[in-house]
Structure 1
Amino acid sequence: MATVELLTSEVVVPAEETPAGAVWMSNLDLAARRGYTPTVYFYRADGKPGFFAGDALKDSLARALVAFYPLAGRLGLDDTGRVQIDCTGEGAVFVTARSDYVLDNLMNEFVPCNEMRDLFVPATPAPNPPCALLFVQVTYLRCGGVVLGLAVHHSVVDARSAAHFVETWASIARGSTGDAPVLPCFDHKLLSARPTRAVLYDHPEYKPDPTPVHPVTASTYESAIITLTKAQVIALKARCAGASTFRAVVALVWQCACRARSLPPDAETRLHSMIDMRARLAPPLPSGYFGNAVIRTSALATVGEVVANPVDYAARRLLAATSQGDDYARSLVDYLEDVDAMNLPRSGISRAHLRAISWMGMSLHDSDFGWGVPVFMGPALMYYSGFVYVMQAPGKDGAVALALSLEPETMPEFRKVFTEELARLEL
């Protein structure tokens, strides 16, 4: 593995004066993982002068922080000890580095893991008040390419909000003359609990697993990136009539993981997922809602049911679990009002389970800072075994990339059975 040398580290403040005060955080913000989400964007050198020049990036970042001013603040506490965002305008951390990696070699070696995160994403402090919310690292590769690494505090943003910020920053950097980016909305009171709370559902995803099967820890995983071609995706969706790309792909991953783990047929397996509730609420949240607007949900079955049935069985179970609407979300927000957010389960899942996240809506074309779109974008590490991200494959219209982690002893068998299933799709 190549090395990275840090060159500079400074703080970038908003280009103009920004509102002071505090941003109240919803129960969904408090229920999110208390930590930073590290992501990486790989860019190939385009031969133009000023490619990812540090001064240009800092200037555009400072201007982006005017609209997204909470990201220039710090995590804080109100008088009752509730976490909030203190809009101090102190700024975001901006680091430059250089590496002897060549982009093509890096892409061949890269899998989300602690080592890659440490190379290409800035070091972050303990994610508790007071702490900075945004860290940026620009790493210049030996071949002229660049890795842009970000760490954003998850209590402040979900994936869609993080993408909204990056897309706005990129638009400013390239001097876009198109439509103005959507302005962010920081009114988290839109997701406050109701005066008369009504918890109508059980919400097991926010409770500890009552029957863990071979619990795993954050240090015991092997990760991989696997690409499904457009033809494979089309064939898989044909077997899962009516299923979205995300649901069809995850259904196959669930089935293959159950086989590879060699679990007893009567063991329960839970497929955890997340639903973006912005458009599902009544009324919908503003399109620029900036915060956490996703809820956990899950599909439960036995290993025997997932393995013995055609893949559309798992897809239908996932569809039922991810079709929740306003009443479910409001029930969850009300439930969380009486729960200590620090005691919510966040430290991993049982070896029988998976957690799948869709990044299908994160367009790589919107991450063009003026020197072309990234050739790859994805998570810099996986948090524990059983994590799955489903993403659009760069430069391959209709293809899908999976970033996933499994137990080291499971991954070889999973690769084998997953490859076999993909081959059957093409018959």
Structure 2
Amino acid sequence: MVSSMKVEYLSKEMIKPSSPTPENLRLFQLGLIDQITPPNFLSLLLYYPSDSDQVDNLHIIAKMQRLRASLSEVLTHFYTFAGRIKDNTMITCNDEGVVFLEAQVNAFLSDIFEEPDADLVHHFIPIKMEDPLTPTSPLIFVQANIFKCEGLVIAVSFNHKIADIKSVSTFIKAWSAHAFGSMNEAMLPKFLSGTTLHDSPDQSYPITPPVIEFKMTKCVTSRFVFDDSKIKELKTKASSKTVQQPTRFEVVSALIWECSARASRINLGLTNRESMIIRSVNIRKRVVPPIPENSIGNFLGPSIVRLELDEEIVLQQLVIQFRNDLEEFSKSIAEAIHHEGALCKVCELAKEVKIAQNGDDLDLYYCTSWCRMSFYDTDFGWGRPKWISVPSIPVKNSMILTDASDGKGIEAWLTLSEEDMELVRSYKELLEFASLNPRIL
């Protein structure tokens, strides 16, 4: 059934804020990190089984009306999302709106749960990561997918340049609260103009920072699920005198990096190969003074860890390197965001990443965590999602970690070359702790 699945678009419209943006808020200055961030679209999918025993078209229509109305209302608060990017330096908050698509799927949601597939769910998202961006492009796309069983998959695609995953979490939480009638002042977003975070720039660097770009390549995405009990076992294995209590993010990402780097060395016929992993770190709590958690934009910094040419790949040592680099990052980089010289530091990091991206003498990996973002609490009025997922992305050597439905386990979405993935899927040291693409219970 899944192989013959078709998606038929029923409607497409532009949803605008329910109230106009005040004139004094019509221009929003992008921060340095926003300017460096690539304008790719990233997507999140929320899966809602039917909340009714019988299919009722009027019930479906009511859901769609609620989604549209609440989206219009929440955009009044998230006014930058309804605008357009200008010259990579600012957003014109002109209330042009976001795209809302309604689609009919000739399948049952249970079919998707039985065979989760990161490639298949591309049918449910409104825009691809590699789609080009123009000055008139909307910044947010939403697609509501209605299944034969009246199950619903809501896909949100957002331009990474205007928001990190924490910003998207704040947005979706407020959107569902509007739909549920439970919106409160604590959910309102905060907008910090780029000019308020970075004082005088260092003139030895260009005023416009270099934009980090991802190379799109043919690769394979696999889903590995780490249950809570297995993560506890992995923490015990990865702990050391230096890091006695590693986090679940540290141990899962370190194990996946270990297996991926080893697979690359084997497939290249090398015993020695330099490897680098770039982890996206939320700096909101790490800067001095802290930035509010509901601040909108990109408040991420790259934590960069290297495996040297002849360095042995050992899980405990990788976790130690993760912890040491994060502590160093918090001291030397994150604390500089509010002060002079921030442009210099940001550009130095961007330059290091771009050099690594253009080199052929090392393996570069990307890792980001979407855990603890409360996506499983997203209730538009018909219950919480049974599952959340991401689509496959054409960026080699990337991993996205999301919460499992119990909030304790982790789902890892790993993208590698076909050759490396074939080896990684067979590694006992990974499958001892992770299940390869189990069905959604």
TM-score normalised by structure 2 residue count: 0.83
The structure 1 residue matched to 2:191, chosen from 182, 185, 189, is: 185
Q: Give the corresponding residue for 2:438.
A: none
Change (3 A) 1:65 1:32: same
CA separation of 1:72 and 1:254: change in aligned 2, threshold 3 A: same
CA deviation after TM superposition for structure 1 residue 271, in Å = 1.4
The CA distance in 2 between the partners of 1:347 and 1:72, in whole Å, is: 32
**The residue matched to 2:18 in structure 1 has which SS?**
coil
Q: Separation in 2 of the partners of 1:362 and 1:257?
A: 26
324-333 vs 97-106, which moves further: 324-333
Q: Given the alignment, which residue of 404, 407, 416 partners 1:406? A: 416
Per-residue deviation, residues 60-80 of structure 1 (Å, max 9, x unmatched) = 001100100111111123xxx
SS in 2 for 1:388: strand
Partner of residue 213, structure 1 = none
| Alpha-carbon contact 1:63-1:172 (below 8 Å) kept | yes
1:76 aligned to which of 73, 86, 90: 86
Contact 2:145–2:153 (8 Å) recurs in 1: yes
Query: How far 1:363 sits from its partner (Å)?
Result: 1.4
Give the AA of the match of 2:176.
A
Amino acid at match of 2:162: V
Quote the Cα distance in structure 2 between the aligned partners of 1:183 and 1:167: 11
Cα offset, 1:40, TM superposition: 1.3
Q: Is the 8 A contact 1:236 1:425 kept in 2?
A: no
* 5+ long unaligned stretches in structure 1: 209-215
Aligned length: 404
For residue 175 of structure 1, what is the aligned residue in structure 2?
181
SS in structure 2 at match of 1:61:
helix
- 1-structure distance, mates of 2:63, 2:212: 47
Aligned counterparts of 1:144 and 1:3: Cα–Cα separation in 2: 15
**What SS does the corresponding residue of 2:307 show, helix, strand or coil?**
strand
Structural RMSD (CA)? 3.1
AA matched with 2:78: F
Residue by residue, what CA displacement relative to the aligned partner does 1:229-264 show, whole Å, maximum 9, x if unpaired?
A: 111101111223322111110111111112222152
Letter of the structure 1 residue corresponding to residue 378 of structure 2 = S
Query: Is the Cα–Cα contact under 8 Å of residues 187 and 289 in structure 1 kept in the other structure?
Result: no
Q: Is the 8 A contact 1:57 1:173 kept in 2?
A: yes
Aligned match of 1:131: 137
- Which of the numbers 30, 37, 40 marks the counterpart of 2:45? 40
Are the structure 2 counterparts of residues 173 and 345 from structure 1 closer, same or farther at C-alpha, using a change threshold of 3 Å?
Answer: farther
Distance, in Å, in 1 between the alignment partners of 2:151 and 2:318 is 41
Q: Given that residues 77 and 188 in structure 2 are in contact (C-alpha distance below 8 angstroms), is that contact kept between their aligned partners in structure 1?
A: no
| Matching of residue 318 in structure 1 with residue 341 in structure 2 | no
Contact 1:233 1:245 in 2 (8 A): yes
8 Å CA contact 1:71, 1:133 repeated in 2: yes
Do the aligned partners of residues 314 and 254 (structure 1) sit closer, same or farther apart at CA in structure 2, a change above 3 Å counting? same
User: 1:257-276 counterparts in 2 under 5 A?
Assistant: 257-261=260-264, 262=266, 263=268, 264-276=270-282
CA displacement at 1:128 relative to structure 2: 3.1
In structure 2, the residue matched to 1:415 is 425
Residue in structure 1 matched with residue 226 of structure 2 by the alignment: 228
Structure 1 distance, partners of 2:211, 2:81, is: 27
1:243 aligned onto 2:253: no
- The alpha-carbon deviation at position 336 of structure 1 amounts to 4.5
Per the alignment, in what secondary structure is the counterpart of residue 333 of structure 2? Answer: helix
State the 1:407 CA deviation.
0.8
Using structure 1 for the length normalisation, give the TM-score: 0.85
1:148 maps to 154
Q: Tell me the residue number matched to 1:293.
A: 299
Q: Determine whether 1:386 maps to 2:389.
A: no
Alpha-carbon distance in structure 1 between the residues aligned to 2:140 and 2:188: 20
In structure 2, distance between residues paired with 1:424 and 1:362: 23
User: Which residue identity does 1:231 align to in structure 2?
Assistant: S
* Residue aligning to 1:333: 343
Say whether the 8 Å CA contact 2:376–2:386 is kept in structure 1.
no
